[in-house]
Amino acid sequence: MMFVRLLRRDTVVQGIELYIAVIPVSIAIAIGLALYLIWRITRMDPGTEKMKQIHKAIRQGSHAYLKRQYKVVLAILSLITVVLYFLIDYTHNLGVPYVALSFMMGTVSSLLAGYVSMEAATRANVMAANAARRSQTKPLSIAFQGGLVLGITVVAMSLLGVAGLFYLYWAANGWRNVEKIPELIMGYGFGASLAALFAQLGGGIYTKAADVGADLVGKIEAGIPEDDPRNPATVADNVGDNVGDCAGRGADLFESISAENIGSMIIGGGLFMATQNMFFLLYPIIARAIGLIATIFGAMAVRPKENEAPIASLRKGLIVSTILIAIALYFATTQMLGPHSELLYYASLTGLIAAIAIEVVTEYYTGEHKPVKEIAEAARTGPATNIHIGLSVGMEATALPIILVLIALAASYVLGTQYGQLTGIDPHTGGVYGTVTATIGMLSLTGIILAMDGYGPIADNTGGIIEMSGVEEVSSETLDALDAAGNTTKALAKGFAMGSAAMAALLLFQAYVDIVKIDIFNLIMPSTLIGLIVGAMIPFLFSSQAIKAVGRAAQKMIDEVRRQFREIPGILEGKNPPDYAKCVEISTMAAQKEMIAPSLIILVSPIITGLLLGPIAAGAFLIGVTASGIMLAFTQNTAGAAWDNAKKILEKIGEKGSEQHKATVVGDTVGDPMKDTAGPSIHVVLKLVNNVAIVFGALFLLYALYLVP
């Protein structure tokens, strides 16, 4: 109320209460809906005793992992909180430890969002499995609802955190320097991105160690099928789907939108000062809130029908949401940002269009189209040629999405400069705000994309539970259709996550520029060049360590599965159950141990660059990481998904077991840590390095050694 009064005094826009009110309303609707969906799912019938048992094992495994992960993460993050307090809040006499506090809030919110999503996913899986015994459409509905909990919780929690912190600091400090708030709460984005790296990298190591271990010993050595209950690693494999795809991607996108919100507000702060229109500051969070509501309505369009492919139903949800978001953004933008703001609306559309276009390109490269067919065909001459073509497809797939992102960036910048010229704002500032609105447009899709993405691991689990519990009423067509849709939505979500990470990283770079107040990063100076090239090296070093981590963790899993096959009598005849918990524990411990070193590289390298070479080199470092990171992530994500689907194509035409199929299994396994560990973790890396630089930028300005001019 006080807040609202303040705004009315300071701004030219009428009815601002209405806009601000959208934020708490949207959060309330979203969290209410999420809780309702969880409650409704929980009340369903989980099926046979065997199903309940398996389900319990998966839930226990997921909880065990989260508990362990949260312990490690909270320990590390508490340490960092203390460091931040002394290095930044204390030395800068900020009074209230804004940065340390918001950092802590960011990590806790991210962990909480992950927890809620996992709860929904690990409940929905068994309900969908049981529903599949009687209906073709019901399991799809349940899995999508589980995914929707992930999508809206992540967006709502991020909004709650950013808007809440904004409100709290404003409440404590009054309206003076309100435009400085985003800079003070930048720790939130940093905390969220560090939690996201642990979630994505740890989850990625977990899931692929279990997957590779289960496949190499179970499928290849012992010759038992996927998800066979005799395989000791099979529960860990299903847990992995949840912790890697569900919690990991959730944390990744939680971070994208949090970072984007704060970065946008940092940049908007400057425009607010210039125009006295406070909406430049608040537009990012209000637009996010409106997008959240549009997403909830869009999700209602997912109404599975008999004789319709599941992916078609899901796609309807995406299309309707996109249209609703485009309409909502039109009203929000033109109402809030004053005359000529339709230019900024067009800028936001470029982001939305780029996101959809990236989805189409991703689908082309990873779906059943020419590239994947060529990979399958190349397997005729063995695994090596299969891998050649897969790698080649992965590298080729960088071109179009990058060009789409860059076109959105260019077009939105140009629209923003025109807006600036028409309204008397500095054209470059206007241009940067144009790119901000493009990023907002793109990220408005986060909720619905995450809902579709969350569907994937739930559908995987559904299949797993049905296989493991020996339920036979479910037709293999129903299962295959569920599974195929999940693979597609996962690939789409990764394409989106990558595109939005690129946009978010470039936006964060602009926020960094604002914070260090340097306006020339000149490539002909050696320190700039050195920073950039070191930055370009980091994603390679990181990927290398991530893949090796999966290799080491998988080796432990392989040894354990072999040991159980050897030592537990009658295990392969199904007489004695395997020790699932032991495998879950191995994956859990390995993930915790292996995620530390690669994360440290990412955390420390921007700080070292900044302190040795200065803030300009650090800025160039960020661009280097972004430029090479985008390519490496697209390459790894696409190649991995394409290899996977090349294998599936052969299975569909009954080639399972042939030499050609075996060659594609090698390709699929090669791609596993690329597409589910290294690739998606790079999305987080892009944003994390920027967040680190934003938080430590002030220190670079004070203490840099400037070893090279």
Q: Which of residues 544-563 bind a second copy (CB under 8 A)?
A: 544-545, 547-548, 550-551, 554-555, 558
**What are the φ and ψ backbone dihedral angles of 368, each rounded to 5 degrees?**
-80, 70
Which range binds a second copy by CB under 8 A, 236-244, 307-315, 517-525, 685-693?
517-525
> Cα–Cα distance between 64 and 55 in angstroms, integer?
14
Which of residues 476, 522, 576, 658 is near a second copy by CB under 8 A? 522
Cβ distance 654 to 697 under 8 Å? no
The residue range among 63-71, 236-244, 356-364, 515-523 that interacts with a second copy, by the rule CB under 8 A, is 515-523
Question: For a second copy, which is the closer residue by CB, 80 or 216?
Answer: 216
Among 323, 410, 572, 701, binds a second copy (CB under 8 A): 410
Residues between 592 and 631 with contacts to a second copy, criterion CB under 8 A: 619-620, 623-624, 626-628, 630-631
- Outline where 300-369 has alpha helix (H): 310-336, 342-366
Only segment of 25-33, 380-388, 483-491, 590-598 that touches a second copy (CB under 8 A): 380-388
Residue 60 vs 385, nearer CB to a second copy = 385
Candidate residues 394, 447, 456, 598; the one interacting with a second copy per rule CB under 8 A: 394
Give dist(CA 358, CA 362) in Å, integer. Answer: 6
**Under rule CB under 8 A, residue 117 binds a second copy:** no
Of 650-689, which residues contact a second copy (CB under 8 A)?
666, 669-670, 673
Between residue 207 and residue 226, which ones bind a second copy under the rule CB under 8 A?
212, 216, 220
CB within 8 A of 29, min separation 6: which ones?
Answer: 292, 293, 296
Residues 634-653 that bind a second copy (CB under 8 A): 635
CA torsion sign for 88, 254, 244, 588 is: positive
Q: Can you tell me the distance from the alpha carbon of 240 to that of 58, in angstroms, rounded to the nearest whole number?
A: 9
Minimal distance, residue 479 CB to a second copy, in Å: 26
**Of the candidate residues 257, 449, 506, 561, the single one contacting a second copy (CB under 8 A):** 506
Taking the alpha carbons at both ends of the chain, their separation in whole angstroms is 52
Residue 116 vs 558, nearer CB to a second copy: 558
Residue placing its CB nearer to a second copy in the complex, 139 or 213: 213
Question: Using CB under 8 A, which of 126, 286, 402, 479 touches a second copy?
Answer: 402
**Separation CA 442–CA 108 (nearest Å):** 26
Site residues (CB under 8 A) for a second copy, limited to 414-443: 414, 417, 427-428, 431, 435
Q: From residue 261, how far is each of 166, 280, 352, 444, 513 by CA, in Å?
A: 11, 12, 16, 11, 16
Q: Does 128 interact with a second copy (rule: CB under 8 A)? A: no
**Token pair for 308:** 């319709």
Q: Does residue 396 bind a second copy (CB under 8 A)?
A: yes
Please list every residue from 526 through 545 that binds a second copy, using CB under 8 A: 526-530, 532-537, 540-541, 543-545
Q: Is 566 in the site for a second copy (CB under 8 A)?
A: no
CB of 581 to a second copy, least distance (A): 24
Report if residue 523 touches a second copy, rule: CB under 8 A: yes
The answer for 454, left when phi > 0, alpha when psi is -120 to 50, beta otherwise, is alpha
Q: Residue 46: exposed, middle, or buried by beta-carbon count in 10 A (0-12, 13-18, 19+)?
A: middle
Cβ burial 187-203 (10 Å sphere, 16+ → b, else e): bbbbbbbbbbbbbbbbb
Instruction: Give CA–CA dist 592/71, Å, rounded.
Output: 10
Chosen residue from 388, 556, 582, 593 binding a second copy by CB under 8 A = 388
